[in-house]
Amino acid sequence: MACRNTLIGACVFAVTAMVVTAINATTIRSPIAFNNATHEKSSRQPENGAEFEYLRAVEDGDLAGCTINVVEALYGRDGGAWGIFDIEAAVTCSNGGFSYSSSGAWDGNGFHAAGTITDGSGTGDFAGASGRVAQLGGGVTPKDDGSLDVFYGLVIETAE
pLDDT digits (tens, 9 = 90+) for 118-144: 999 999 999 999 999 999 999 999 999
Please state the rounded mean pLDDT for residues 143-160.
Answer: 92
Binning pLDDT at 50, 70 and 90, where does residue 157 land? very high
Residue 103 lies in a domain: yes
CATH number for the domain including 126?
2.40.350.10
Measured from the Cβ of residue 121, the count of other Cβ atoms closer than 10 Å reads 17
Residue 12 lies in a domain: no
Q: Give the number of domains in the chain.
A: 1
- Please count the CA atoms within 13 angstroms of the CA of 153 that sit on its side-chain side: 7
Residue 37 lies in a domain: yes
Residue 10 lies in a domain: no
Q: What does the pLDDT read at residue 6?
A: 43
pLDDT tens digits for 86-117?
A: 999 999 999 999 999 999 999 989 999 999 99
For residues 93 and 61, is the Cβ–Cβ distance under 8 A? no
Residue 36 lies in a domain: yes
pLDDT tens digits for 21-68?
A: 345 679 999 999 999 998 889 888 998 899 999 999 999 999 999 999
Regarding pTM above 0.75, the answer is: yes
Distance CA 67, CA 56 (A): 5
Residue 17 lies in a domain: no
Cβ neighbors of 128 (< 8 A, separation 6 or more) are 122, 160
Residue 49 lies in a domain: yes
Binning pLDDT at 50, 70 and 90, where does residue 160 land? low
Residue 18 lies in a domain: no
What is the domain range of residue 47? Answer: 26-159
